Chains A and B, each alone.
Chain A
Amino acid sequence: MEKIELKTPIREKDVRGLRVGDVVYVTGTLLTARDAAHKRIVQYLQEGRKLPFTFNGLPLYHCGPLVKKTGNEWTVLAAGPTTSMRMEPYEGEVIQKLGVRLIIGKGGMGEKTSKAMKESGAVYGAFTGGAAVLASKYIKKVNGAQWLDLGMPEAIWSFEVESFGPLIICVDSYGNNFYAKVRADAENIKAKIV
């Protein structure tokens, strides 16, 4: 597995060169978004409302971090990924309309997202679920948060990260989906084991 460094802003050619199984590390600005934020983003896009941040070229991290505030400063204590599949209904549109080239999460994403990744040039990288303290070590700074009315887990957090990874590319921009392969293998073996 080749070790690849990506710096933000991430361009299409950066991700078109990636394939399932590649391992990447990301440096730069990253934005978190999960259930409620995705729902609101899509709603804002439908209503033609301006979003209070730019996702273009930045990784989108499925994460509801545990953050501590001391005075005016935020510190991230734990920031592992949340289950990405919950964002499947919205992610294709986010990729197509907001210029996101890298989705980071755990557990994989589905057909609709994979199709959007193929069309627009984006990939999905998996970080180890629950390795939250480990993840926090790569977060050098909290730039801020938007939509805190949604609560700490659901707000959009902006982090500066350095060599955040290893992110295993599990869905690439050519329709390959590693989780789907693992599932298919398990289904094939099921008849023998039940």
Chain B
Amino acid sequence: MNWTSWILSGFVATIVLSAALATSQGLGLTRMNLPYLIGAVITHNRDKARLYGFMAHMINGWAFSIIYVLIFEATRNTSWWFGLILGLVHALFVLSVGMMLLPTLHPRMASERHGPTSRRQLEPPGFMALNYGYQTPISVFLSHAAFGSILASLYHLH
């Protein structure tokens, strides 16, 4: 594995992913504010949650890129379309399994079955995060596709 290339390509891809998600919120494609969603795991202070969430998302994206890189190394394939497909699979996993588990994993997220409590007050994402806007899956697929293809394009095999 090419560690230097991973650090650089993972960083760039994560920055692009974060920017794409923020832009799609700004453009009204989705209401989902991922840094806030992640940061609220750590703190109930909404302003700090955005900051902590952004940092956590950066680290998370970087860490996740290792899996991509390992697959690139294993398949010896770093074509952009291969990265794009990996990104789409990643997005599908996040939207289906990740969002389904989120109300259970997130300490401040309410569920439709139990309703909000004094501690759990955040709106759950629902199937494919559609509660956060019906175009949310499009935004997630596009941003993760960009993540995968950029990572593949920038990463140099060992």
Do the two chains bind? Answer: no
Q: Which residues of B contact A (CB under 8 A)?
A: none
